[in-house]
């Protein structure tokens, strides 16, 4: 299945006021797409829309809480009223909680699942009702936590596991119906976004992300690639793929990494904003965070998976060059002067 070029598409992005959602909105607009941005932070969305319009792009912003189905439906209705519909829907909105599972309140757990899981469910079901008739792409942003557990982010991992199960089941149902809709699950590793600073934090330290950390533009590029050239799953960050494969090979051994994983999620400084943005929008409008470690420039692994034929050709070329070098140095073979 192949979809329209980006310059001919209308793309809906939830969680567009910060992090991966903001990176995707900016990149989509730069590539000529019309963008429908949704988030809880109205002021931040208005600034981002003005920024996009300032470079000649087209965008609208809709204040919405993805944890409420009526709000999600309102986003789709605005896209229909303004642009006549949409071609790609991207579910990005989400958050996290840092702390021991037994210490976190039921209200916080419920709110996280309402945003991460039910927000994705509502977005997916609303989007596919439209896309069934017109064709297009549904793209859900999961995480390597869709396949791995992270102690001290236990409910985040649980919600992303649930997103994976829901996304896979929905894809199968759409295939059974022969609906012209592609469904992609994006699985980022640690990404340089404000997610740690916006998370609800029960720890006595400021939260952090385990290295290596990749730029949000890598995720945005993968999302927009899938909007035109669908793929079932896309890992963003080769380290994430390696950890997932290692866990599948030796799940018991992965469990013993708990002390290291917990340590890597703590910075040396005291918490700055323990409440975060779990229940109310705060500090929106930033694409990147402030990790204490250097951020990778790109992910060679992800770039290769987006263009598998080019990657295969490169491997063949490397193999041919290697074989030629071996043969040219074989015993008894004369070397050119």
- Pair of tokens at residue 264: 């890597």
CA dist., res. 226 & res. 224, Å (int):
5
Given the structure tokens 């380290």, which residue do they identify? Answer: 239
Catalytic residue list contains 254: no
For residue 90, with 0-12 CB atoms within 10 Å meaning exposed, 13-18 middle and 19 or more buried, which class applies?
buried
**Helix, strand, or coil here: 141?**
strand
CA dist., res. 39 & res. 117, Å (int):
16
H helices of the chain, where? Answer: 19-30, 42-54, 69-83, 106-113, 119-134, 154-177, 195-198, 216-228, 238-249, 251-255, 258-264, 300-306, 308-328
- Please tell me what DSSP assigns to residue 116: I
Residues 6+ apart with CB under 8 A from 257: none
Cβ atoms within 10 A of the Cβ of 61, count? 25
CA dist., res. 230 & res. 329, Å (int):
44
CA dist., res. 74 & res. 62, Å (int):
8
End-to-end CA distance of the chain: 53
Whether the Cβ atoms of residue 70 and residue 123 lie closer than 8 Å to each other: no
CA dist., res. 237 & res. 187, Å (int):
9
Q: Which of 122, 156, 202, 301 is the catalytic position?
A: 156
Beta bridge partners of 233: 185
CA dist., res. 3 & res. 52, Å (int):
24
Give the active site residues: 156
């Amino acid at each position: 299945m192949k979809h329209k070029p980006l310059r001919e598409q209308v793309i809906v992005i939830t969680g567009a006021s910060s992090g991966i959602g903001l990176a995707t909105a900016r990149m989509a607009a730069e590539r000529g797409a019309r963008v429908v941005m949704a988030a809880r932070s109205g002021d931040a969305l208005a600034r981002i829309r003005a920024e996009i319009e300032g470079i000649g792009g087209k965008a609208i912003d809709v204040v919405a809480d993805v944890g409420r189905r009526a709000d999600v439906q309102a986003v789709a209705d605005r896209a229909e009223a303004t642009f006549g519909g949409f071609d790609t829907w991207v579910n990005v909105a989400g958050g996290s909680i840092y702390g021991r599972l037994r210490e976190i309140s039921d209200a916080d757990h419920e709110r996280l699942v309402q945003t991460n899981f039910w927000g994705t469910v509502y977005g997916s079901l609303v989007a596919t009702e439209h896309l069934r008739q017109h064709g297009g792409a549904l793209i859900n942003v999961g995480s390597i936590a869709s396949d791995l557990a992270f102690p001290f982010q236990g409910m985040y991992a649980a919600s992303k596991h649930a997103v994976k199960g829901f996304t896979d089941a929905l894809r199968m149902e759409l295939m059974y119906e022969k609906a012209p809709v592609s469904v992609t699950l994006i699985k980022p590793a640690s990404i340089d976004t404000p997610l740690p600073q916006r998370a609800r934090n029960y720890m006595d330290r400021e939260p952090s992300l385990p290295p290596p950390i990749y730029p949000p533009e890598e995720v945005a590029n993968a999302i927009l690639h899938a909007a035109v050239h669908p793929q079932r799953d896309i890992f963003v960050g080769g380290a994430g793929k390696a950890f997932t494969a290692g866990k599948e090979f030796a799940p018991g051994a992965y469990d013993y990494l708990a002390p290291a994983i917990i340590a890597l999620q703590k910075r040396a400084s005291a918490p700055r904003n323990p409440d975060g943005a779990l229940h109310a929008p705060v500090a929106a409008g930033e694409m990147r965070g402030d990790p204490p470690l250097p951020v990778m420039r790109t992910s060679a692994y992800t770039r290769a998976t987006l263009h598998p034929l080019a990657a295969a050709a490169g491997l063949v070329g490397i193999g041919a060059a290697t074989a030629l070098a071996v043969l040219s140095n074989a015993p008894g073979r004369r070397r050119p002067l």
